[in-house]
Amino acid sequence: MQKYYLIVLLAVSFILSSCNKKNDSEVTTEEVSYANDTGIFDKANGKLTPEMMWSFGRLGTDIQISPDKNNLIYGIKKYNLQGNTGRSDIYSIPADGGEPKILTGDLEESSFNAIWRPDGNKIGFITVDEDGAQIWEMNPDGSDKLKITNIENGINGFLYAPDRKHIVFASDVKLDHTTLDLYKDLPEANVRIINDLMYRHWSQWHDYAYSHVFVAAYSDGAIEEAVDIMEGERFDTPMNPWGGMEQINWSADGSKVAYACKKKFGREYTLSTNSEIYIYDLQSKETTNLTENGLEGYDHDPVFSPNGKMIVWKSMEEDGFEADKERMMLYYFETNELVDLSEGFDQNASQFTWAEDNKTIYFTSGVNATYQIYKIDIETRDITQITEGVHNYQSYVLGKNALLACKMSMSKATEIFSVEMNSGEETQLTFTNKWIYDQIKLARVEARWIKTTDEKDMLTWIIYPPDFDPNKKYPTLLYCQGGPQSAVSQFFSYRWNFQIMAAHGYIIVAPNRRGLPTFGQEWNDQISGDYGGQNMKDYFSAIDEMAMEPYVDKNKLGAVGASYGGYSVFWLAGHHEGRFKAFISHCGIFNFESMYGSTEEYFFVNKDYEGAYWEDPSPVSYSFSPHLFVKNWDTPILIISGENDFRIPYTQSMEAFNAAQLLGVKSRLLIFPEETHFVLKPQNAVLWQREFFGWLDTYLKQD
């Protein structure tokens, strides 16, 4: 481990960073009035609460800089807890700092995905109206808003060509037959007729349509008939479930479009991660596959060089492994040479941006549970880390003399910072939620390196309650991370929020156990096929060391987690040997066999379980299934799931709850009929928090 980084990690500079400008322009009088009327701050006693969390303005990470580098545009989403609704708007701010200005507050509906037209004279954005999601344009000051498309099925995203002659956009195309198509005389029949796999994905049933890439001629606010460059193909770009317009890009001269697509269907799709990078030539109307030979895993997010001679993208090597190393692949069009720029760099690389000289590529990468901005010289392959600190940089754009970047931490939600390119010195530009931070006390975040059972160093975040007193004893929570390959980094969650947990009087122990990125690929890969092995020992190492601290009440320990973290809680419940007094599992895997039979992306379970349960001999991973150890459960457990979670179906939670009830274990089940793997509706989320702390308080705070 890089011990030098400990000094940086122990710092809580992000919490204490100076806000030399007070800037509350993103806060409306209505928001302040609502906060005062409901008394959410008075009731909080200076501590962060779930209700207060829904007063936050949630700044988006899709910031865009004007062609002259003078102004930024970005989105903020705000929620109305009483109305159970949310609204997104577009803001602008000078690139060197100043007063933010809302640009779309006069529109009835939300606006999002704002981008600059290449000449800087217009801003394009998406608004949803009676015709669905459509492209609008406005002047940089927000005036003269005009709807410029009326696409039948709406659009999923768009980009201007650099020469302003075309627009590329994604839109759904219906290609499959519905029940009504097949049985027109039975209009009230309601059934899904399924002949292949991938009939549902993460949170949605298949809707008989596919997201295709379209190119349309454009001239100052008008587009001509669009051409579907994927016509007839039963594939999606952007790819499901999380893909966006980063998977589509223009060449600098506007003559070509690059896009990522996994051109597989049904059973073949669910068994493979092999997506490709395609180049569509507007003149010849031909499509070329750049990655068909030798690149077998995910290939994503292509970015052309400014001179058009090169293209870089994110690539994984192993087919079927969705958490493989994200490599930086560079292709030279003139020589057809393909180079792995990140060879020897034992970290992921993503979010590529070219410098104008065609010699430098900026990117983001995770290191020791933080995410930083880097650059690489493509000739020398020298990699330079630009930023350091206890934070996650999520996205960035290149300014005149600085990077303009979105940053968050466990202590503060996303804001925009200006980062000096050579020194990494930061200046905060937006202060979206300062009016809230000014009224609360934040918890202290500390990094601790803990020895594991195999003598490795494991970074564990410890979050202490506000006004922490080392002479007192505190109930303590072991936080189990999901993924499974997803770092316990400096994320700011609006539900699994460590500041809220700490404000509620708990110490949080959040280990970066085996199977998480940002600590090298070996650490990341260890978990596959070993769900009940070393990473579980890592959990015990973390909580056992902290339990020896005089301020930790070792008789009041709890374990909480979601997804793989929810599985971890189920597993710990059968193996903890009396350590814990309360458990909470959200969307966890309980029974490996039924999980295998009811999930959707089979490459995931085939990699992590090392095969199907019917194989002979059965893969050893199935011996780690929590249901095999449920007879050992003896501790109160709260179990939560959403009915529209198709990755880990809610029946897993039902199985666990039913077993707990039959065994006489104190238990409660929350099922959210309209939620997915994530609880996103405001009032559902607040209810989730109330049940979460109600359960913990009952079993960890009462004598």
pLDDT of res. 33: 58
Count the Cβ atoms, other than its own, within 10 Å of residue 56: 19
446: nearest Cα among 428, 474, 418, 465: 465
CA distances from 466 to 381, 501, 507 (A): 45, 10, 10
Domain residue limits, the chain: 443-640+680-700
pLDDT of res. 14: 32
Residues with catalytic annotation?
Answer: 563, 645, 677
The answer to whether the Cα torsion of 209, 213, 217, 221 is positive or negative is positive
pLDDT of res. 693: 98
Is domain 443-640+680-700 in CATH 3.40.50.1820, yes or no?
Answer: yes
pLDDT of res. 422: 87
Region of 700 (left: φ > 0; alpha: ψ -120 to 50; beta: rest) is alpha
pLDDT of res. 31: 65
160 neighbors 123 (Cβ within 8 angstroms): no
Q: What is the pTM of this model?
A: 0.94
Grouped pLDDT means (10 residues each) for the chain, 703 residues: 32 34 56 64 82 95 97 97 96 97 96 97 96 96 96 96 97 96 96 96 96 96 93 97 96 98 97 98 97 95 98 98 97 97 97 97 98 97 97 97 97 97 94 95 97 98 97 98 96 96 98 97 96 97 98 98 98 98 98 97 96 96 98 98 97 98 98 97 97 98 88
300 neighbors 275 (Cβ within 8 angstroms): yes
Residue with tokens 């087919």: 319
Q: What is the identity of the amino acid at 505?
A: G
Sheet containing 276-281, strands listed edge to edge, beginning at the edge strand earlier in sequence: 248-250, 256-261, 276-281, 287-289
b/e map of 255-283 (b: 16 or more CB within 10 Å)? bbbbbbbbbbeeeebbbbbbbbbbbbebe
pLDDT of res. 220: 85
305: nearest Cα among 262, 366, 256, 260: 256
Terminal Cα distance for the chain, rounded:
41
Interatomic CA distance for residues 278 and 524, integer angstroms: 30
pLDDT of res. 36: 63
pLDDT of res. 13: 33
pLDDT of res. 12: 34
Interatomic CA distance for residues 465 and 506, integer angstroms: 6
Q: Please report how the helices 534-547 and 564-573 are oriented relative to each other, as an axis angle in degrees rounded to 10.
A: 70
pLDDT of res. 143: 98
